[in-house]
Amino acid sequence: MDKKMSFSAEIKDRLTEQKSECDFCTTARLAGFMRFAASFGSGDAVISTENKKIADCAGALIKECFGVNAEYDYNKQSKRYKSILKNNEQDLLCAELMADQSAEQLMPFACCKRAFLSGAFLGGGSVNDPQKSYHLEFDTKTKAYAEDVLSVLEEEGIKAKLTSRKGRYVVYIKDYESIAAVLGLIGAGYAALELYNISVEKEIRNDVNRQVNCDNANMKKQGKAASEHLHAIAVIEKKIGLGALSEVLREMAEVRRAYPDDSIQELGEKLNPPIGKSGVNHRLKRLMEIASEL
């Protein structure tokens, strides 16, 4: 991905270069775009975006669908680009794209549904940098439009949720597999692949961290036990001497004292004859019992 652009901005930038698979796709894509990006006021329909290519894409779709030219404006203060349709052109747009059409009318084929989602993402979609978190959403002013996206996703077997936020409606997804599926649907397969690669790297890092934490915990536990063993041996030596112990316990005490950092298994391998961990634990436990009785 381009390091100068965010993960989401890079996806949108490439989506502006998409070609329609059929004539209906162009209308479906523009409908998704307008339903998630357009605002209406003072007789104008306005698409506002921070990306010039997105504004140009909106204008090109409008030209292709209706044969009318959108006006363009750039606000230096807000650094946003606008595609503007005036009165009569807005009426045409609203009648064709913003009306309450059935999904079958607006998106008669599977490719049209993908085009609709692509337009909706361009207009009001975003996806977080997967290195930081997994989150994709579609944001619109109108609940019915959000429900249209939710319905298309459900038809594709993708589970998403709908919520309201500051007077707007947001369809969102938080698991990486579903996010990757959406990216694939809208034509951003390269981004879906990158998402999968990042998720694998994260999983490997998490596994390593868990193993390191586990190893550290075991080392602390092992160190505490060794300290208790050495203390018991010191008590025995001071009170009665190691010579008072049985041969196997005396050997165990000497090996434990000689190798304070060794694991239970390593201690067992140094005994003559070598014994297993359960045998070592039994002898060390007995040494601690003797020390506690003195």
Secondary structure class of 142 (helix, strand, coil): coil
Secondary structure letter of residue 100 according to DSSP: -
Strand partners, 85: 45
Could you list the residue range(s) of the whole structural domain that residue 94 is in? 7-187
pLDDT value for 2:
46
* pLDDT tens digit sequence for 16-75: 888 888 888 988 998 888 888 877 666 567 777 778 888 888 888 888 887 778 777 777
Higher-confidence position of 93 and 111: 111
Same domain for 181 and 208: no
pLDDT higher than 60, residue 110: yes
Interatomic CA distance for residues 16 and 54, integer angstroms: 6
pLDDT higher than 80, residue 90: no
Same domain for 183 and 217: no
Secondary structure letter of residue 259 according to DSSP: -
Same domain for 91 and 30: yes
In a domain, 286, yes or no: yes
Produce one character per residue of 256-279: b if its CB has 16 or more CB atoms within 10 Å, e if not: beeeeebbbeebbeebeeebeeeb
In a domain, 16, yes or no: yes
Interatomic CA distance for residues 45 and 32, integer angstroms: 15
* pLDDT tens digit sequence for 219-274: 777 777 878 888 888 888 888 888 888 888 889 888 888 888 888 888 889 988 98
Contacts of 1 (CB under 8 A, 6+ apart): 7, 10, 191, 194
pLDDT value for 236:
86
CA nearest neighbour of 56 among 91, 26, 17, 94: 17
Contacts of 35 (CB under 8 A, 6+ apart): 97, 98, 120, 123, 140, 142, 145, 148
In a domain, 1, yes or no: no
Interatomic CA distance for residues 289 and 16, integer angstroms: 77
pLDDT higher than 70, residue 97: no
Same domain for 282 and 234: yes
In a domain, 214, yes or no: yes
Rg (CA), the chain: 34
106 pLDDT tier (thresholds 50, 70, 90):
confident
Secondary structure letter of residue 91 according to DSSP: H
Find the CATH number of the domain harbouring 39. 3.10.28.10
pLDDT value for 27:
87
Same domain for 211 and 120: no
State how far the alpha carbon of 174 is from the alpha carbons of 127, 179, 208, 254, 275, in Å: 10, 7, 24, 58, 52
Strand order in the sheet with 44-49: 38-41, 44-49, 80-85, 71-75
In a domain, 134, yes or no: yes
Q: What is the pTM of this model?
A: 0.67
Boundary (domain end) residue, out of 187, 215, 249: 187
* pLDDT tens digit sequence for 176-220: 889 999 999 999 888 888 888 888 887 787 777 787 777 677 677
Contacts of 20 (CB under 8 A, 6+ apart): 26, 29, 115
* pLDDT tens digit sequence for 152-167: 999 999 999 999 998 8
The mean pLDDT of 283-293, rounded to a whole number, is 87
pLDDT higher than 60, residue 146: yes
